[in-house]
Copies of this chain bind each other. A is one copy, B any other.
Amino acid sequence: MSTADGSGATGTRERIVLAASRLMQRQGYDGTGIKQISTEAGATFGSVYHFFPGGKRELAVAAIRHGDQEFGDFLREELDRVDDPAEAVAACARTLAAGLRASDWTDGCPVTATALGSATRAPEIQQAAAAAFERWRGLVAERLRRSGLPDADARELAATVVSALEGAEFAAQVSRSEEPLLTTGRQLARLISSYR
């Protein structure tokens, strides 16, 4: 279900956000033009400014919020698949690695590329990215608490897991190799296991 009303139909606004998210994920904020976004979305140039009067900045914030949702859903699903939380985090890393390879190393984190570089100029973008990281940390922490970890430990571990996965995904992307993600996943599992 990709629409708000659940009808399955994709409105113009939604297609624009989706295209912006995908393109900025690969090319960054400054590397992606509004013209390219509108073309990819099958919308006209004017439609973009009709739905996003704030222009590129407003569109980037919407794209980051979309990536926030997307990666959050991934984390929730993947972490619930396996009983052992340490093994669940390692599985996350493996799935991310497979996805990265499947996209020929182009589709990294949907938030990182968009926020990096534009953050200093646009506070709204930086804040949207910060909110995404905060939410992801919360999701992982919740999962760890559910496994019996004390709140303080769960929060520390969650922050480490999100940061490490983020960095490993970028390392894997530029190295064009699954190794950094797989290795980091294994070591994160070991770290989590040490708390029990």
Q: Knowing that A31-B118, A167-B169 are A-B contacts, what are 19 other residue pairs whose CB atoms are under 8 Å apart, sorted by A's residue number?
A: A28-B29, A105-B120, A112-B116, A112-B170, A113-B117, A115-B174, A134-B175, A159-B180, A159-B183, A159-B184, A162-B171, A163-B180, A164-B164, A164-B168, A164-B184, A187-B191, A190-B191, A191-B191, A194-B194
Q: Given the known A-B contacts A28-B117, A29-B31, A176-B130, are A184 and B171 also in contact in the complex, defined by CB atoms under 8 Å?
A: no
Which one of A112, A165, A169 has the greatest number of beta carbons of chain B within 10 Å?
A112
Docked-complex contact A27 and B190, CB < 8 angstroms: no
A156 within 8 A of B: yes
- Shortest C-beta distance, A104 to chain B (Å), equals 9
Task: Compute how far the CA of A121 lies from the CA of B134 in the bound complex, rounded to whole angstroms.
Answer: 31
Docked-complex contact A160 and B187, CB < 8 angstroms: yes
Interface readout for A95-120 with B: 1 if CB under 8 Å, 0 if not? 00000000001101000110111111
Q: Given the known A-B contacts A116-B113, A163-B168, are A174 and B31 also in contact in the complex, defined by CB atoms under 8 Å?
A: no
Q: How many copies does the complex hold?
A: 2
> Can you name the residue of chain B whose Cβ is closest to the Cβ of A162?
B171
| Majority secondary structure of chain A interface residues (helix, strand, loop or mixed) | helix
Docked-complex contact A156 and B183, CB < 8 angstroms: yes
A86 within 8 A of B: no
> Can you name the residue of chain B whose Cβ is closest to the Cβ of A27?
B117
Across-interface contacts of A126 in B (CB, < 8 A): 174, 176
Of B31, B105, B120, B187, the residue contacting A106 (CB under 8 A) is B120
A157 within 8 A of B: yes
A56 within 8 A of B: no
Of B116, B159, B179, the residue contacting A170 (CB under 8 A) is B116
Docked-complex contact B194 and A190, CB < 8 angstroms: yes
A87 within 8 A of B: no
Q: What are 8 inter-chain pairs, A to B, with CB distance below 8 A?
A: A27-B117, A31-B118, A116-B117, A129-B174, A159-B179, A160-B184, A164-B168, A165-B167
